């Protein structure tokens, strides 16, 4: 069973940047697809980005394409989400998720989740 811990959230002005980290333990991190999701108050959890463990291919929601970058450092058991040009609508709790076989956009298909980190973007 994988344990995931996110960090790096905080308060930032619009146009600023943050880098989120997701540290995994418990299983072979390099063999897990990693997804980032976010949930704003009163809204459903939504897909942000994902990275495959098989070929490191990346996938992004249209709302963050060109602004966010997902990456992974398998030697450090860590995945990252670099967020640039942040907007107030990016405000949410951000979660990382992992799964050995699923790398898509549905949060229901990921087996393992972190506790989340708050990102607040002020206008």
Three-state secondary structure call for residue 109: helix
DSSP code of 40?
A: -
Task: Write down the pLDDT at residue 73.
Answer: 92
Residues of the chain with pLDDT under 70: 27
* Cα–Cα dist 117/123, whole Å: 20
First to last CA, the chain: 40
Three-state secondary structure call for residue 90: helix
Length of the chain in terms of residues written: 123
| Percentage helix, strand, coil for the chain under 3-state DSSP, each rounded to 5 | 10, 50, 40
Q: Which two tokens stand for residue 101?
A: 């076989």
Task: Write down the pLDDT at residue 27.
Answer: 67
Task: Write down the pLDDT at residue 28.
Answer: 79
Task: Write down the pLDDT at residue 80.
Answer: 97
Task: Write down the pLDDT at residue 122.
Answer: 97
DSSP code of 116?
A: -
């Amino acid at each position: 069973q994988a344990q995931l811990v996110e960090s790096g959230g905080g308060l930032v002005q619009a146009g600023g940047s943050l880098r989120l980290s997701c540290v995994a333990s418990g299983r072979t991190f390099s063999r897990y697809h990693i997804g980032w999701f976010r949930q704003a108050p009163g809204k459903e959890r939504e897909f942000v980005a994902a990275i495959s463990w098989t070929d490191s291919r990346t996938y992004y929601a249209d709302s963050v394409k060109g602004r966010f970058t997902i990456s992974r450092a398998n030697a450090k058991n860590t995945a990252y989400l670099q967020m640039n040009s942040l907007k107030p609508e990016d405000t949410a709790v951000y979660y990382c998720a992992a799964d050995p076989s699923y790398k898509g956009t549905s949060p229901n298909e990921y087996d393992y989740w972190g506790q989340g980190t708050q990102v607040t973007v002020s206008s």
